[in-house]
A and B are shown apart, each in its own frame.
Chain A
Amino acid sequence: MIHHPPPAASARHPAVAVAALLIAAPAVPAAADSTVSTLTVAVSQQVDSFNPFTAQLAVTTTVLGHVYDRLLTNDPRSGEPAPALAESWETGEDGLTWTFHLRRDAVFSDGEPLTSDDVVWTLTTVMENEAAAVAGGNYVAGFEKVTAPDDHTVVVELARPQATMTSLDVPIVPRHVWEPILEREGEGFAGHTGEDLPTVGSGPFVLTEHARGRSITLEANPGHWRGAPGFDRIVLRYYSEKDAAVEALRGGEVSFVPDLTDAQATSLEGAEDIAVNFADGKRFQAFTVNPGARTRDGEEFGDGHPALADRTLRRAIAMAVDNQEIVDKAHGGRAVAAGGYIPARYTDFHWAPEGGETDPDFAPDTADALLDEAGYARGADGVRVSPDGDRLRLRMHVHQDRPDNVNAGLIVAERLAGIGIEVENLTVDPGVLSDALHAGEYDLIFTGWTVSPDPDYVLGIHTCDALPLEPGTMQGDAYFCDEEYDELYEAQLREYDPGRRAEIVRDLQRILHREAVVNVLAYPDIREAYRTDHIDPSSVQVQPDPGGNIWGQDGYWALWSARPAAWTGGASGDGLPPVARAGIGAAALLAAAAGTAVLLHRKATEEDRE
């Protein structure tokens, strides 16, 4: 019930009347829109640009991935490349020609059919226009020519074979919309933010509204060839503070919160009508060892500890750390202890050391013995000294904004102390860490990558070509360079047979493990939570299935498949209807205000009486 203040009171205390109105207000707009099913996602990143040729930030590339189709997608169950705009594809004898056969029922949201002309124009633009290559140039770097023999066939000719052709993350845009924009903007195309809404795309959603720093609205595209999405509308609501977003989930203001910290996920477990999803991670957490920073021409720079050029020392460092301990203590058990470089979620490519005498993964005693044997004698204080006379005191840079890295750093420092290596733990701003890395002024440094279903890129950053041309311009993150590795890397890129390619990828990880420059610790789980009274849990297509994630998929499976729960409660989790909540709130505020008013009035008259 809504309490109405007596007229006299509201006249004397207009604030009280306003407060009562305020509290009572929400019931009205919420009820008016109940025919449109809305899935609200709390996001924490701002929008850089909705220009699909230039957008960089995860939130925008995610939105664009729902607005535009790609040629191929990734099957959530098998993890294999799957049809999207292209129904089928084949390669020529020499491996240099890829032919994609497009589906005939793909239509842009303005009614124009999507044809091979749109695909050719999109890919050619990324190839030829530098400003338009900022987002996807890496995918087309090896393209010679893209042609369209007919309306539904696209032929890509390559300069050299590349196995990554099935995972081109390039949104296909309508030529009739984007060609005029490119011509009009010319040099200024980089600054074009693609805010002409609604967007014209062929994806399952249409971007209809963007309120800067507030929200992004996507409407379902009911005519999408894969079928209509389960929700009519997706709203990405901006929360600059993740803890506030978690509270919004509790109160039912949002339906889904991705990217939770371990503490947030744990606090939500067991909450009513909330499901917490722990999925196998796409990311690996690692620390790299500075083997001696140098440019591609071999010019050395930086001030890494000279002894780290010795593989024996690096192996000993890797062997001293127990990845299971990192999982248990730094991730609260919500991670998978790392084997090789590619996370366990990608079962085809994942590799783990066999263990045993020759290649132990965790063996502090062996590490100790190795160092003794190699001439790293312990000093009086227990800290070893290298054969060249350098004391083994190593700096370790850790991201201060990542609790899992901070915790893992503490464990690494403690374990290294156990084998006679002193660690100076530098828990710093990510910017400081990045500067130290690129200047080569570090010894041990934390890193991590989110690995795509195709591992080519994360493997490529450890080739000799990824070394910097001059200090500061490095493509990779470890100053790793190994001839055998480079040969195998080229081989996996040329290999079109999935089984044989996976074999080579595992060999690459074997080399990384042997050289112990990149030491992978764990694959942290993805933590996310949603309201089961908003979203029907059985409808959400996770990736991989089972055990997979909802947010950050390759493809639009989750948001496309999610359906509203049968009974969608009000904005509150406590079951009280909005009107009742409004009544309670209004009554409480009124009581407080009235009490204060009476008190003040009594005090005032008291003074006047004096």
Chain B
Amino acid sequence: MSDPAAPRREGREDTGGLRRALRHVAGRLATALASLAAVVVAAFFLFRILPGDPVRAMTEGREVSAQQREELRRQFGLDQPLWQQFADYALGLLRLDLGTSFQYREPVTELVLDRLGPTLLLAGTGTAVAVSLGLFLGTRAGWRPGSPADRAHTAVALFFWSVPTFWLGLLLIVLLASGRGITPGLFPTGGMADPAGGGTVLDTVRHMVLPVTTMAAVVYAQYLMIMRSSLLEERGADYLTTARAKGLRDALVRRRHAVPNALLPTVTLVFLNLGQVVSGVILVETVFSWPGLGQLFYSGLRVPDLGLVQGLFVLFAASVILMNLLADLVYPLLDPRVRP
């Protein structure tokens, strides 16, 4: 190979790398968009397969006439042919219009904006607590596998992982909120603020304690287990022997060398879970009457409020797709080994 060829080849490699990266990004974007399109179609037809009729359900027990039901049907657009309803819905989505709720008679976008804050607050705090607790305990457990601490942490985490969210939430309410028996009613039984003189930061935080505890208790096990197992993999690595040979204390070896490397798979998991967090809080929001998106979705499903549930479904699915996309794009930056 001649000398002049060398720089050219290097240059080709550079542009090739960039092109590969771009192709990677474009590929991921295309996949995400295709998934989103599938979700849009699925959301429309999925909820129309649901049994029940929104107008009949909403007027149940009301002394309304057939004409009044017909007028409601017209107002909801349910008298239109199916293709027309789908076209209206799909064109609306292109304008970022998620449709109108039947029962609340308001644009879904407005309802979502109203409920987004409480959900992000609850889901964000719950996830942060679960992740920190999981990583912290997972590190302890994985560093000394088989030790009593490891066995205890793993057992406790798996116990809570298998507890139904609904049951745990109600149990906490009975024990800590109802004022039953010897435990005084320490925390509110539900909601986000005290209707009388509530709304302060402290009041909100007080209302958050039980729902956040419930949410974190049920999910922290997955972070613990993944942290534990990735730390286990690192434990025998040569660079740790080197670190020890330098005379570093055990805790420092763990903190400075083992943990950063073991964190990678965990970070991916955290990202992948972020998208599902919103839909995951449905149960917690329902038990604790938390005025968030999950509770909104639940109230829509019971009717079924087609306008509301299809809009929310698209939104939830879009957030999962977006988070997966971000995880795909961010991971190579964190770990050079998986760079395309």
What is A's interface to B at a CB cutoff of 8 Å? 18, 21-23, 25-26, 29-30, 32-33, 36, 38, 40, 46-49, 54, 56-58, 130-131, 133-135, 137-138, 141, 169, 190-191, 193, 211-215, 217, 235, 237-241, 243-245, 247-248, 250-253, 429-432, 434-435, 438, 449-450, 452, 457, 473, 475, 571-574, 576, 580-581, 584-585, 603-604, 607-608, 610
Contacts and interface: CB of A to CB of B under 8 A. Distances in A.
B61 interface: yes
Listed from nearest, the 3 A-B pairs whose CB atoms lie closest are: A431-B52, A29-B197, A431-B51
Interface in B53-77: 53, 56-59, 61-68, 71-72, 75
A58 to B, nearest CB: 7
By secondary structure, the A interface counts as: mixed
B285 interface: yes
B52 A430 contact: yes
Interface residues of B, number: 71
B249 A608 contact: yes
5 contacts: A29-B196, A240-B287, A247-B178, A438-B53, A452-B63
A349 to B, nearest CB: 16
A48 B100 CA distance: 12
Contacts of B114: 212
Contact of A604 (B105, B186, B251): B251
Contacts of B72: 134
B251 A247 contact: no
A235 B195 CA distance: 8
Nearest to A233: B196
Contacts of A23: 186, 206
Contacts of B92: none
Contacts of A603: 140, 149
Given A22-B206, A133-B71, A240-B299, A46 B104 contact: yes
Contacts of A239: 189-191, 289
B170 A243 contact: yes
Contact of A248 (B68, B170, B190, B192): B190
A38 B197 CA distance: 12
Contact of B63 (A29, A457, A473, A576): A457
A29 B202 CA distance: 11
Given A56-B58, A133-B68, A435-B52, A607 B189 contact: no
Nearest to B252: A608
Contact of A214 (B65, B184, B192, B285): B192
Contacts of B194: 26, 29-30
A238 B289 contact: yes
Interface in B273-296: 285-289, 291-292, 295-296
A452 B63 CA distance: 9
Nearest to B75: A190
A431 B57 contact: yes
B193 interface: yes
Nearest to A585: B186
B71 A56 contact: no
A237 B202 contact: no
Contacts of A133: 67-68, 71
B148 to A, nearest CB: 11
B179 A449 contact: no
B335 interface: no
Given A213-B115, A573-B179, A241 B105 contact: no
Nearest to B106: A193
Nearest to A189: B75
A251 B177 contact: yes
B30 to A, nearest CB: 38
A297 to B, nearest CB: 15
B184 A240 contact: no
A54 B55 CA distance: 13
Interface string B69-110: 001100100000000000000000000000010011110000
A24 to B, nearest CB: 9
Interface string B39-51: 0000000000011
Given A213-B296, A585-B184, A48 B51 contact: no
A603 B136 CA distance: 13
Which of B62, B71, B104, B170 is most buried by chain A, counting CB atoms within 10 A of its CB? B62
B64 A137 contact: yes
B249 to A, nearest CB: 6
